[in-house]
């Protein structure tokens, strides 16, 4: 029987971990969501949008073929580990597009949707994961995503201190349902960084924002939540710099573009391509 790709179950982004004993908590890895399918046609590794990337994950496909089962569908995340031992999305992009595909690529397996002719999606998450842990061999490129011991708050603290991107909390009794769900929740950690303030957006009735660039590339917008006196000091500094060039493809009637020289300290969600949930913490003149 040829198994079909199943659209992934997707955690909703929330600000704080859920409380109580009804949840299990895992590290959120920074990689590509990947479904591993084994059936009578062999092994396929499929992206979250349904593209077949088996050719880019040759080593993972080889290890998946060795898992002792007639057929299965495993849900996981393809990752690359950097020198600090953290999952590194940019290194993964390089690995899967290089001439030597799938080097240094691992799969963190966290769910099992089908096994030996049986659809497991109606089983509780805790039970599916228990079967998956037995199925996946230890110490190889395909690894089981262990649940972290402790409360949601304690796990978040550990993940944040370790410099990781965030965590995913899952209801222990949740069935597997494709699409977004509050039965799975992702809680991301924040990072802080100095970036260039290249513009401001001040529209009546809307929150004020600064537009940021990191190493010459547009990075996105950050909210300005300062109290009145600090906000006024920022606008005074901005006023003297209005008239800078608009970045390429970013011309906007709503933005005032600034001449170089103003730097902002920004707090933002880790693991996003552009600033998300970002807030301006402070500002200064460029040294």
Residue 251 corresponds to which tokens in the numbers above?
A: 């011309």
Q: Phi-psi category of 166—alpha, beta or left, where left has phi over 0 and alpha has psi -120 to 50?
A: left
* CATH code where residue 224 lies: 2.40.50.140
Last residue of a domain, which of 188, 211, 238? 188
Tell whether 90 and 154 lie within a shared domain.
yes
Contact 268, 275 (CB under 8 A): yes
Tell whether 204 and 247 lie within a shared domain.
yes
Residues 274, 171, 21, 130: is their CA dihedral positive or negative?
negative
Last residue of a domain, which of 188, 205, 238? 188
Percent of the chain with pLDDT over 70: 91
The domain of 78 spans 9-188
pLDDT at 165: 87
Q: How far apart are CA 7 and CA 9, in angstroms?
A: 7
Pick the range with the lowest mean pLDDT from 78-87, 136-145, 207-216, 235-244.
78-87
Is residue 3 one of the residues assigned to a domain? no
- Between 245 and 92, the higher pLDDT residue: 245
Q: How far apart are CA 76 and CA 73, in angstroms?
A: 10
Residue 209 phi, psi dihedral angles, 5° rounding: -135, 150
Tell whether 145 and 182 lie within a shared domain.
yes
Tell whether 209 and 280 lie within a shared domain.
yes
pLDDT at 185: 98
pLDDT at 102: 45
Q: How far apart are CA 173 and CA 24, in angstroms?
A: 10
223-226 long-range contacts (CB < 8 A, ≥24 apart) are: 223/278, 223/279, 223/280, 224/280, 225/279, 225/280, 226/280
- Tens digit of each residue's pLDDT (9 = 90 or more) over 41-83: 999 999 999 999 999 999 899 999 999 999 999 999 998 876 6
Choose among 157, 128, 158: nearest CA to 145: 128
Whether the pLDDT of residue 111 is over 70: the answer is: yes
- Tens digit of each residue's pLDDT (9 = 90 or more) over 2-39: 999 999 999 999 989 999 999 999 999 888 999 999 99
Residues 72, 77, 82, 85: is their CA dihedral positive or negative?
negative
Tell whether 177 and 194 lie within a shared domain.
no
pLDDT at 194: 96
* CATH code where residue 119 lies: 3.30.470.30
Whether the pLDDT of residue 93 is over 70: the answer is: no
- Number of separate domains in the chain: 2
Last residue of a domain, which of 133, 167, 188? 188
């Amino acid at each position: 029987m040829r198994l079909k790709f199943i659209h992934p179950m997707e955690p909703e982004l929330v600000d704080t971990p859920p409380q109580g004993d009804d949840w299990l908590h895992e590290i959120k890895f920074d990689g590509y969501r990947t479904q591993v399918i084994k059936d009578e046609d062999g092994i396929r590794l499929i992206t979250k949008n349904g593209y077949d990337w088996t050719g880019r994950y040759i080593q993972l496909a080889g290890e998946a073929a060795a898992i002792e089962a007639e057929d299965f569908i495993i849900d996981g995340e393809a990752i690359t580990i950097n020198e600090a031992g953290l999952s590194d999305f940019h290194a993964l992009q390089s690995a899967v597009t290089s001439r030597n595909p799938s080097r240094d690529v691992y799969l963190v397996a966290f769910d099992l949707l089908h096994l030996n002719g049986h659809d497991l999606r109606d089983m509780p998450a805790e039970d599916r994961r228990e079967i998956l842990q037995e199925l996946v061999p230890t110490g190889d490129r395909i690894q089981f995503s262990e649940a972290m011991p402790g409360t949601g708050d304690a796990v978040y603290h550990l993940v944040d201190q370790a410099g990781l991107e965030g965590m995913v909390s899952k209801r222990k009794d949740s069935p597997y349902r494709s699409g977004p769900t509050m039965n799975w929740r992702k809680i991301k950690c924040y990072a802080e960084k100095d970036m260039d303030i290249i513009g401001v957006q001040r529209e009546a009735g809307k929150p004020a924002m600064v537009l940021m660039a990191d190493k010459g590339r547009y990075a996105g917008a950050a909210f300005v939540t300062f109290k009145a006196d600090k906000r006024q000091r920022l606008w005074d500094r901005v006023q003297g710099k209005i008239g800078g060039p608009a970045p390429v493809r970013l011309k906007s009637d709503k933005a005032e573009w600034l001449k170089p020289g103003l730097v902002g300290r920004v707090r933002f969600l880790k693991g996003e391509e552009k600033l998300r949930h970002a807030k301006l913490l402070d500002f200064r003149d460029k040294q």
